[in-house]
Chain A
Amino acid sequence: MDGGPGGKAGRAEAPASEPMPPVWASTDHAPHVLEEIPMLHTRAGPRDGNQWISRVKEEMQAVIALVRINKEKDNDWFQINPLNKLCTRWEGKCWTYYQGVRFEFTLHFDVPASYPATCPDLIIPHLDGKTAKIYRGGRICLDLHFQPLWARNVPKFGIAHALALGLGPWLSLEIPSLVSAGLLPVTGTTAR
């Protein structure tokens, strides 16, 4: 019960790490990605029947576009597929490289009932409890650098944007920080 509307508190008690710079400062290619991913139009959530089907089609096209962009740039860093017919549950994996080692994690998320007013909580179960930038259950913390951006772009942003502008920068900042803190052993990780 800490935090007003828009706030999210109760993060794991852990030493405060470096504040995360805003996404547009951390990755110079981000603005280009933003321009290339198609924006969404339909404001509908999983409970809105046919409107949601329209929305999911847009979501799917945006994710396909993002995967294409990544493949063209030889910069594939995630795989994601819907698990159910209504596409409210998604599962896949994401990976990043640090010091020549590939760190790969399973990734899953549920589209919340109040979507798209709120963006999905992206979950990396393997990292649960390892960093202050993750909530209970492995929900990565996007409060500061991505959720405000999402809030300003409802309903234009979708899953593809959450991955490209939320998860991507999070991984590229948090994984090096976890490795250097010795919290993510280089051997015996899920690196392939």
Chain B
Amino acid sequence: MDPCASSSDVIAALQAEITSLRAALHSVTAASSPPPPCTTTSSPVFRPGRVKIDHMSAEVTDSNPYSRLMALKRMGVVKEYERIRKVSVLIVGLGGVGSVAAEMLTRCGIGKLLLFDYDVVELANMNRLFFRPEHAGLRKTEAAMATLESINPDVCLEGHTYDVTSVPHFEHFLDRLRRGGPDGRSPVHLVLSCVDNYAARTAINQACNEADVAWMESGVSEDAVSGHIQTLFPGRTACFECLPPLLVASGREESTLRREGVCAASLPTTMGIVAGLLVQNALKYLLDFGDLSYYLGYSALTDHFPRHTLWPNPDCGNIWCRRRQETWRGKGRAWHRRETDCREVGEGAGPVHGTNEWGIEVIGREGVDVEGEVGVERGSAGSVQQSGREGTEASLEELAAELSQLQS
């Protein structure tokens, strides 16, 4: 627990512990004796979670937690909803977006969830969804797992409380990406990035490029009124380092983007919406329905949703991104025609509009390379060169010894 937590936080944490212990006691007594008839106690009643269910049933009864989800098949939206039981998703960051995304996937009956966060729940988080005041002081992973398990015991949960950006943890993180599948051997199907900083995003980017795992990134602006989601397929779409950060690309000062001395704002609405967009996109990808969004922005002030596809940068500074691009080069854009929203421009598709009421013409369109469309600024990154300067001949140990001696 945070040593700086105030005594009220400690009390809250202890209260939460009492609640969870009571719940545990309740479930033990409930298991050993026949379930009591519904009693009308006035105190907050904790009902132990339902028993596990082996198979998803489409049976329409009030007691089937999956009936409304399985109805997606009858409605013709999803071909095989049960597939979700075999799917594993890894979520990094259990803040206002990540925790809500985890709850959504849990309620959808996802096979396995791997949760990563190194922080504890604070009362300052209560303007967002999911966590409750009695969770204050608990680790986000622990509090989330307890809640999620009570919502849906069918989901296999795995939690890790550490910072994924540090090198020793990164190795473990990478291993969980590669072997976090439901069978414990295969890779996870998708990673959701729900973090709040650049360093964590680049670490996730690095891991997903290395492990060749698809991921989706999400973000909410500091003023809480805009957000975005992005789908990243290593080698196929732009990775997180393919495009330079805004303040580098624009040459603007960061201070024009951020207000000094003001703590970041957040709204449960924007965060919930972004979590919804993120998980909707994840479900489309995992269960193969609808059109995937590669980049989808959300501006709350104008209700504007810009949507783009971002192609990878051949000069990307990330070596693993370039390797993954190499793998996909020569395979053409076959995957793109199959997977993007641009189905109507695919082979064999007829014109979308039969008439041209307004006489709209496309000028200079002939011969334009598809790749030029997005107008990716080729960054100056990727200049890997050997240092030819004097002194590099010294070994690392010699240099370390020199540094140590100099400072003694």
The secondary-structure label for the interface of chain A is: loop
B253 lies within 8 A of A148 (CB): yes
Does B222 belong to the interface (CB within 8 Å)?
Answer: yes
A9:B263 contact, CB within 8 angstroms: yes
Interface size on B, residues (CB 8 A): 78
The answer to whether A28 has its CB under 8 Å from any CB of chain B is: no
- In the complex, whether A88 has a CB less than 8 A from a CB of chain B is yes
A151 to B243, CA, bound (A): 12
Cβ-defined contact, A9 with B167, below 8 A? no
Q: Say yes or no for A27: interface residue by CB 8 A criterion.
A: no
Question: Using an 8 Å CB-CB cutoff, how does the interface string of A89-122 with B read, 1 for contact, 0 for none?
Answer: 1001000000000000000001111100110010
Q: A1-B271, A11-B263 are in contact. Are A82 and B2 (CB under 8 A)?
A: no
The reply to whether B264 and A3 form a contact with Cβ atoms under 8 Å apart is yes
A41 to chain B: which residues have CB within 8 Å? 383, 385-387
Tell me whether A19 and B167 are in contact (CB under 8 A).
no
Which residues of chain A have C-beta atoms less than 8 A from B360's C-beta? none
Q: Are B219's CB and A3's CB within 8 A?
A: yes
Chain B neighbourhood of A184, CB < 8 A: none
Partner of B246, one of A6, A18, A22, A40: A6
Q: Is there an interface contact between B399 and A57, defined as CB atoms closer than 8 Å? A: yes
Q: Is A64 an interface residue (CB 8 A)?
A: yes
Binds A, one of B108-116, B194-202, B334-342, B349-357: B194-202
Interface centre among B247, B319, B382, B387, by most chain A C-beta atoms within 10 angstroms, is B387
Given contacts A1-B95, A17-B261, is CB(A114)–CB(B199) below 8 Å?
A: yes
Q: List which B210-231 residues lie within 8 A (CB) of chain A.
A: 210, 218-222, 224, 227-228
- Chain B's nearest CB lies how many Å from the CB of A1? 3
Contact across chains for B196 and A118 when beta carbons are under 8 A apart: no
A190 within 8 A of B: no
CB distance from A117 to the nearest CB of B (A): 5
Is B29 part of the binding interface, using a Cβ–Cβ cutoff of 8 Å? Answer: no
Pick the residue among B203, B241, B264 that contacts A2 (CB under 8 A). Answer: B264
Check if A68 is an interface residue, CB within 8 A of chain B. Answer: yes
Q: Taking the nearest CB of chain B, how far is it from the CB of A35, in angstroms?
A: 16
Contact A63/B403 with A11-B263, A54-B392, A113-B165 known, Cβ cut-off 8 Å: yes
Tell whether, in the assembled complex, residue A68 and residue B167 are in contact, meaning their CB atoms are under 8 Å apart: no
Task: Flag if A112 contacts B167 (CB, 8 Å).
Answer: yes
Q: State the A residues within 8 Å of B (CB).
A: 1-11, 13, 16-20, 22, 38, 40-48, 51, 53-54, 56-58, 60-61, 63-64, 67-68, 71, 79-82, 87-89, 92, 110-114, 117-118, 121, 128-129, 132, 136, 143-144, 147-148, 151-152, 154-155
15 A-B pairs within 8 Å (CB atoms) are namely A2-B95, A2-B220, A5-B201, A16-B262, A20-B260, A45-B206, A46-B167, A60-B403, A64-B403, A88-B167, A92-B407, A112-B202, A113-B167, A113-B203, A143-B254
Interface residues of B (CB under 8 A from A): 2-4, 93, 95-98, 119, 124, 128, 164-167, 170, 194-199, 201-203, 205-207, 210, 218-222, 224, 227-228, 240-241, 245-248, 253-255, 257-258, 260-266, 271, 317-319, 381-387, 389, 391-392, 394, 396, 399-400, 402-404, 406-407
